[in-house]
Amino acid sequence: MDEILLIDKPAGMSSFGVVARVRRQLSQQVGHKVKVGHTGTLDPFATGLLILLVGKATKRSGEFLKLDKWYEATIRLGYVSTTGDVEGEISEVSDKGVSADEIEIVLKKFTGEILQKVPRYSAVKINGRRAYDLARKGIEVEMPRRKVTIYALELVSYKWPELKIKCNVSSGTYIRALGEDIGEELGVGGYLTELRRTRIGDYKIEDATSLAGEG
C-alpha cells in the first residue's frame, strides 16, 4: 500500500474530497485506516491529474511539489469573475471582440518568466490567514506577486468569446490568474470556464484512474 496513485479528478470535487474518498476506499479494502496525501491541489471546478501518495510514500511529497505542469484551459473573454473562474460572480466587461492575431501577440507576452499576482481566492496565507477566507469576508488585502515561468503557451482554438489554450508552466503558476491577465491585456476581461491538468513532470493523465461512484 506504499505507492503513487494517479487520479483523474472530476469537476465539482475538491482535491481534499478526492483524498478522503480514496482513503476511505483503500481503508475498507485492507481493514484499517490507510494514510493518503496529495502532492498539489486542483480547484473544485477543474479536472485532471492529481498525484496521491499512499502509506510510507507520503514522505516523498517534496519530490513532486516543484514539478512542471501542463494544462488545457478555456477562457471566456468579455467578462470577469470575482474568483477568476465559473464559481465567482460574473460581470460583463466588453462585447467588442478581438482578433486571433491580437490573441497570438498577447500570448507571446506571457511566455517566459513573468511576475504573477496570487489570486485573492487562493490558499496562500496573508498575516496567518488563508487568502480565500479574507476574500469571502470582503477584507481587501494586497496580494503578493511571484515569479513564475510559462514555458509554452499555445492557442488551441478561438471563436469569440471562447478562447482555448494549452500551457506548460512552472510550479506555483495560477492558471486562473493567467486567464485573467490575458483578458486584461486584451482589454476585454476574461475568466476560466474549464481547466484540465494533463501532466505533472513525467506523469500523464492517460495513465490516471477515474473515480467511480459517489461520495
| DSSP codes joined into one string, 134-196 | HHHTT------EEEEEEEEEEEEEEETTEEEEEEEE-TT--HHHHHHHHHHHHTS-EEEEEEE
Q: Write down the pLDDT at residue 122.
A: 65
Distance (Å, rounded) from C-alpha 166 to C-alpha 156? 7
Contact 159, 182 (CB under 8 A): no
| Per-residue confidence (pLDDT) for residue 202, from 0 to 100 | 96
Collect the ranges in the chain with pLDDT lower than 50. 213-215
pLDDT at 128: 74
Positions marked active-site: 43
Q: Look up the pTM and report it.
A: 0.90
pLDDT score for 131: 66
Q: Can you tell me the distance from the alpha carbon of 200 to that of 172, in angstroms, rounded to the nearest whole number?
A: 12
Residues, the chain: 215
Decide: residue 171, CB within 10 A, 0-12 exposed, 13-18 middle, 19+ buried.
middle
Q: What are the structural domains of the chain?
A: 4-66 (no CATH), 69-200 (3.30.2350.10)
